Amino acid sequence: MVPEVVKHNWPESPKCLLSTFAFLFKLKYMQNISQSDLKHTENSIFSPKSQGGWTLYHLDIYFIIAASFIMLLVIGLLIYVAIKYRAKPNDTEPKQRNGNRKMEIFMVGIPFIMISFFFFLTVKTMKQTEPVVINRKPTVVINGRQWWWQVSYPGTKVVTANEIHLPANRKVLLKLTSSDVIHDWWMPSFGPKMDMIPGSVNYLWLNIDKPGIYEGTCSEFCGQQHAKMRIRVIAQTEENYQKWLTESAKEATQITDPIAFVGASIFQRTSCAGCHQIRGTDAKGDVGPDLTHLASRKTILSGTKANTKENLYAFISNPNAVKPGVNMPNFHFNKQEKAALLAYLNTLK
Ligand code: HEC
Ligand SMILES: [Cu+2]
């Protein structure tokens, strides 16, 4: 039987090509999943915001110029040959040639020189961006989880999630790992990607140009919510960063509000405390994010939702409806219980 001819949907193809280019140039589509209540910053490999970002940017420019030149040359020659040497009526068989030494040397030599040149550039870039890590204490340890980022700061008591505070204008060392599957750290404007592999650690140097909020996303398919594993780096001046560290190292404050008190007891009584840590309380779980200072975060659920009462309420009412596949069960709380829990979470400043 003759197989059915695959029909190309031609009007779709240029659109597809265009969107591929759009992706390369602006990585904007990562933001389609964003909430309208979250303002997103630009994240593109073409607007570097760190030393590593600039290094990779320069390498990219060389590659793009060389690749574009070759593409244009090949397309140009193809069109020239197709027009000039096309078959004409009454043409006879063309003269057959067998090899052309000069042409062969040229066609092997030029790519060889180009590849050597780019090999040299790549090694030089790798030397600049990949760390030599001997006895160095990382500034921050980031652990990829399905589907959020666990963040801790060695030498301090600070543990947080998703919003990664770092000082700008200074070299910081990131230690990257994973507790479940392979994730991949990628902040487009910071340059290199780095795999986060269970049972193994990788390091990355980072030197952010100036304070600001920068975004990225997990870029290794890691399951159902992979696309919603967004990274948020909050780069601060040294002074603000140290202040933040001091504040974040503190334990949760004592509760005075009676409704929040009821919330706290629900939190300890149900299995919340088995999965979440709230420093200063008996909640010491390690399955979900540390919630000690939840209320001072701008976002929840790996940067996909603003940290508002409505969003928290919706999530606690039915976690799976807000983030399908999420590793948090639905507790089917009644309204009062949910209100009490929210009041408690709101005290975690
Ligand atoms: C089986 C473990 C588990 C239990 C039990 C659990 N959670 Fe979670 N929780 C998680 C995980 C995992 C996440 C991270 C979701 C994500 O972003 O993918 C999470 C996220 C959250 C968040 C959002 C935190 C953030 O920064 O994004 C809040 C708030 C929260 N849980 C509250 C609760 C409360 C309140 C309870 C008890 C009623 C509870 N959780 C019970 C696992 C659990
Ligand atoms: Cu991931």
Percentage of residues of the chain with pLDDT beyond 90: 71
Q: What is the pLDDT of residue 25?
A: 55
- 283-315: per-residue pLDDT in tens? 999 999 999 999 999 999 999 899 999 999 999
Residues, CB within 5 angstroms of ligand 2 (ion): 183, 218, 222, 229
Domains of the chain: 15-82+104-249 (2.60.40.420), 258-347 (2.60.40.420)
Q: What is the pLDDT of residue 6?
A: 36
Does 204 sit in the ligand 1 pocket, CB within 6 Å? no
- 232-271: per-residue pLDDT in tens? 999 999 999 999 999 999 999 888 899 999 999 999 998 8
Confidence of residue 326 (pLDDT cuts 50, 70, 90): very high
259 Cα to the center of ligand 1, angstroms: 20
166 Cα to the center of ligand 1, angstroms: 24
Closest CA to 294 of 252, 332, 233: 252
| Cβ-Cβ contacts under 8 Å for 253 (sequence gap 6 or more) | 280, 347, 349
Confidence of residue 93 (pLDDT cuts 50, 70, 90): confident
Strand-by-strand arrangement of the 230-236 sheet:
163-167, 230-236, 212-217
How far, in whole angstroms, is CA 11 from its chain's centroid?
32
Asked if 140 and 174 count as a contact pair (C-beta separation under 8 A), the reply is yes
- Single-letter residue type at 198: P
For residues 345 and 16, the model is more confident at 345
Task: Measure Cα distances from 45 to 55, 126, 135, 189, 303 in Å.
Answer: 11, 16, 31, 5, 20
Q: How far apart are alpha carbons 303 and 147 in whole angstroms? A: 11
Ligand 1 pocket test target in 262, 276, 318, 327 with most atoms within 8 Å of CB = 276
For residues 32 and 140, the model is more confident at 140
183 Cα to the center of ligand 2, angstroms: 4
Q: pTM for the whole thing?
A: 0.82
Q: Say yes or no to pLDDT of 9 above 60.
A: no
Q: What is the pLDDT of residue 176?
A: 95
